[in-house]
């Protein structure tokens, strides 16, 4: 069986490593002429670290990043709303790790070259389509750098891991991204640790301005400064999407955060001192009724692009990779394997897509902003209790597949208290998604 993986990102490389681990040959085709350490930060949640640990990469990634100890929610006036332990401190078997996306990507790339061989990842190959008949599929490529056509590549199975703008998905389904007026700007800043130096922070809400902040590398200059990742997000009445392909301009968004100067953090200064700024639109796509078309299937962001909230996109992609590899190992007929993979993953990821739209983790911030009238509070318990906030947090984890009981065996987390059940309204009439 020959397997062609389209896209050498996190999903495609993780899939290649999983297939190799099961004795299944494959080759990855990547559009970029050269793989480089690009991007900003990413959080590897416990269920994502579980998958990387199974590939023998867990310790390496933990050393390269920062293990999160707590998650903190603040309003835009710098007041603490809610905090909870994360990763191993919360009872998980696996840590939660903040890391530079480029560091993660190159670790996967080097592992693939080492284990599968130097010809296992072919760069400078832009997929422009797929053909298939009863006997085989053929992937059509152009050379990215020149635009010249290349001979078709035959394969028994084609797996599209080519991201949110997937050429294969566009050919098979023809849909487009869903944009609702939310744009983001991201960057990394070198500075002294914030709070514990292991704190994941969500400040404000997308309605009035939100920023997510967490460290991704320790002591980057020998003077104790960390590399701090930050992402701003807010909703405007606009149809103008940010452009993935150009640097961000601080003038487009800094006015929202200019007054965010707290005793424990100067947010405006953090943004202004960033090494660089990138801009992205906040987009996803509606869940599909099917991913698999004969010998071709979709995985990762090509299958279920979701809002980058809750740090869950990469985790869902690598779970796709492991599930798909298991199905291909268990089924002699590749088309049956692809159907089994889709049956296992399609609806599970659709729930996460919908939840990230409607009830993301920072729904806590939105709820408190609504209850307090977007004003500083004296006693938050007058509006909502910590137990009620904890229920909102636990609900998201269950839907996204990383409640403690999902990532480790129930016996590993004795005494875990169940939050409000999905589908039941809380005292404010909010229905937690099922």
pLDDT at res. 420: 33
> What pLDDT is recorded for position 421?
39
Cα distance between residue 80 and residue 77, in whole Å: 9
Q: How far apart are CA 267 and CA 261, in angstroms?
A: 6
CATH class of 3-43+53-65+101-176+285-356: alpha beta
The model's pTM is 0.90
Give the C-alpha separation, 168 to 233, whole Å.
29
Cβ atoms of 196 and 218 within 8 Å: the answer is no
pLDDT at 362: 79
In which residue are the tokens 């297939």 written?
A: 19
pLDDT score for 189: 97
Q: What is the pLDDT along the chain (434 residues), one digit of tens a residue?
A: 899 999 999 999 999 999 999 999 999 999 999 998 888 899 999 999 999 999 999 999 999 999 999 999 999 999 999 999 999 999 999 999 999 999 999 999 999 999 999 999 999 999 999 999 988 999 999 999 999 999 999 999 999 999 999 999 999 999 888 888 888 999 999 999 999 999 999 999 988 999 999 999 999 999 999 999 999 998 888 888 888 778 999 999 999 999 999 999 999 999 999 998 999 988 888 999 999 999 999 999 999 999 877 678 899 999 999 999 999 999 989 999 999 999 999 999 999 898 888 777 678 999 999 999 999 999 999 999 999 999 988 887 887 777 888 885 333 333 333 333 344 444 433 334 33
The ranges assigned to domains in the chain are 3-43+53-65+101-176+285-356
Rounded distance between C-alpha atoms, residue 315 and residue 48, angstroms: 4
């Amino acid at each position: 069986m020959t397997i062609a993986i389209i896209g050498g990102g996190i999903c495609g490389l993780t899939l290649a490593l999983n297939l190799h681990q099961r004795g299944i040959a494959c080759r990855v085709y990547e559009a970029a002429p050269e793989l480089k350490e690009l991007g900003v930060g990413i959080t590897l949640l416990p269920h994502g670290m579980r998958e990387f640990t199974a590939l023998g990469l867990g310790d390496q990634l933990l050393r390269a990043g920062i293990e999160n100890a707590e998650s903190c929610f603040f309003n835009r006036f710098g007041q603490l709303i809610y905090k909870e332990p994360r990763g191993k401190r919360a009872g998980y078997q696996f840590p939660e790790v903040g890391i530079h996306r480029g560091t993660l990507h190159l670790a996967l790339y080097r592992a693939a070259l080492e284990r599968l061989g130097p010809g296992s990842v072919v760069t400078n190959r832009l997929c422009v389509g797929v053909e298939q008949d009863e006997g085989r599929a053929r992937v059509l490529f152009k050379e990215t750098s020149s635009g010249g056509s290349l001979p078709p590549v035959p394969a028994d199975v084609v797996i599209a891991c080519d991201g949110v703008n997937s050429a294969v998905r566009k050919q098979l389904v023809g849909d487009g991204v869903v944009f609702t007026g939310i744009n983001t700007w991201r960057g990394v800043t070198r500075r002294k640790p914030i709070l514990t130096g292991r704190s994941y922070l969500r400040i404000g809400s997308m309605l009035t301005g939100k920023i997510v902040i967490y460290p991704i590398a320790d002591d980057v200059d020998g003077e104790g400064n960390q590399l701090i990742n930050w992402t701003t997000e807010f909703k405007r009445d606009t149809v103008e999407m940010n452009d993935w392909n150009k640097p961000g301009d601080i003038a487009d968004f800094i006015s929202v955060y200019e007054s965010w100067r707290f005793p424990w953090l100067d947010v405006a200064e953090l943004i202004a001192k960033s090494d660089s700024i990138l801009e992205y639109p906040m987009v996803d796509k509606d869940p599909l009724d099917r991913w698999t078309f004969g010998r071709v299937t979709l995985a990762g962001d090509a299958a279920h692009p979701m809002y980058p909230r809750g740090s869950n996109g990469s985790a869902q992609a690598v779970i796709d990779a492991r599930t798909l590899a298991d199905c291909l190992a268990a089924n002699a007929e590749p088309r049956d394997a692809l159907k089994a993979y889709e049956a296992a993953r399609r609806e599970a990821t659709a729930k996460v897509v919908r939840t990230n739209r409607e009830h993301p983790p920072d729904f806590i911030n939105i709820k408190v902003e609504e209850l307090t009238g977007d004003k500083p509070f004296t006693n938050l318990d007058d509006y909502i209790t910590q137990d009620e906030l904890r229920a909102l947090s636990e609900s998201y984890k269950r839907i996204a597949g990383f409640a403690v009981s999902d990532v480790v065996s129930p016996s590993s987390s004795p005494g875990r208290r169940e939050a409000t059940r999905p589908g039941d309204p809380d005292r404010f009439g909010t229905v937690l998604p099922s």
